[in-house]
A and B are shown apart, each in its own frame.
Chain A
């Protein structure tokens, strides 16, 4: 897979050039690149235009009406009263408030009970055992399961959490193998990301 250029390095240099922040040597380097790359020149023109626009004086802080007022003014009477509008009536307000309070309390109780379940992924991933290090590892999506299993075995790692939506697993490794495991994962083509989890 071709290496994607680091967007930060690229943009920082062009930003800095457009903003006139580079020293003579750096300017010369950028200008050499610009001379050889029409696409880069177009990009620079764009950045210069934007820089000019954003460096203009900040907008005056007008006393606009609030968003609610504007919305109401524009939408006017288009919005019909909802079916539950009668709940807001003066006679029912205390009852509605009490019912809401009860619902909130019930919700809190349910949330606490749910939090105490012992076999959720969150609980399993919360507290690593002593004498171990937790690595956060994302495998290459194209990696085969057999390859991942072999890698875990070689590293002496056990999956204790995950995957997250972007694919990271929490792997537990004995402390005396942590450095080796991190290096192994870092060099493997099956792995696209690895770091040691902070305690």
Chain B
């Protein structure tokens, strides 16, 4: 009973909202671009350049940025733990971006490290990073706002096993129910694949980098603008989506001009 009351109280507290922050708060980002997968047919063209573009953009927006390129499982888990440790220390706004291969199994989304050699469901669970758990881990750091961007719905030619037909593992990513104070953005709809993009630049990253720099656009509007632009340019083939439990004041990547003066 007390537990239920606690949940109700927490919901009411969240619903009451917080005032918009008047003072700048810390900003920390972890950006990962994985392209050089071991098998030639799994190699992607754009994740590394997309990650660099997002990283540079974030840095110009005041984020402390860690960039991993072609990261293996060891590097990814070390970077994620360091990212969490920093969030615990600073209680900053967090931004996590992953470009590369991703798959879903039983409703969980897994981000595939380079060199993981994942051919079976068990390989994925053991050698990839569970993005759903990552979202929960970020929430546990106790910061106000977590932004998780999964530009990871690109087709993995190595991972098309029989389990697909059993309905347990399918291409594209699975919808998520993010923890409070979290926005999870997918480059394309759950269950669909995103284009790796043309030479040198992924479609989603291109527009995300652009609209994050637009002054005075609240966080949700940034992703809405990105969706509109991606849908238009891909002629409807790619529809980015977000899952959000944000409450309280707006967050601006680039504040309105008046707020910056």
Contact = CB atoms under 8 A, between A and B. Distances in A.
B57 A54 contact: yes
A105 interface: no
B42 to A, nearest CB: 22
Contact of B210 (A12, A59, A164): A59
Given A71-B231, A115-B3, A4 B75 contact: yes
A64 B55 contact: no
A67 B227 CA distance: 7
B214 A61 contact: yes
A53 to B, nearest CB: 8
Given A58-B215, A70-B228, A7 B79 contact: yes
Contacts of B43: none
A119 interface: no
A116 interface: yes
Q: Most chain-B CB neighbours within 10 Å: which of A12, A55, A67, A74?
A: A67
Interface residues of B, number: 48
Interface in A91-150: 112, 115-116, 138
Task: Give the interface SS of chain B, mostly helix, strand, loop or mixed.
Answer: helix
Nearest to A167: B77
Contacts, number: 101
Contacts of B59: 15, 19
B224 to A, nearest CB: 7
A67 B228 contact: yes
Interface in A44-93: 46-47, 50-51, 53-55, 58-59, 61, 64-67, 70-71, 74-75
Interface stretch (A153-161, A174-182, A191-199): A191-199
B78 A165 contact: no
B56 A8 contact: no
6 contacts: A11-B67, A15-B55, A15-B59, A46-B49, A59-B213, A61-B225
Complex A-B, nearest 10 residue pairs according to Cβ-Cβ distance, in ascending order = A74-B236, A165-B130, A58-B214, A64-B228, A58-B213, A8-B66, A166-B77, A50-B56, A165-B133, A54-B57
Interface of B: 3-4, 49, 52-53, 55-57, 59-60, 64-69, 74-75, 77-81, 85, 88, 125, 129-130, 133, 137, 209-211, 213-215, 217, 224-225, 227-229, 231-232, 235-236, 239, 254
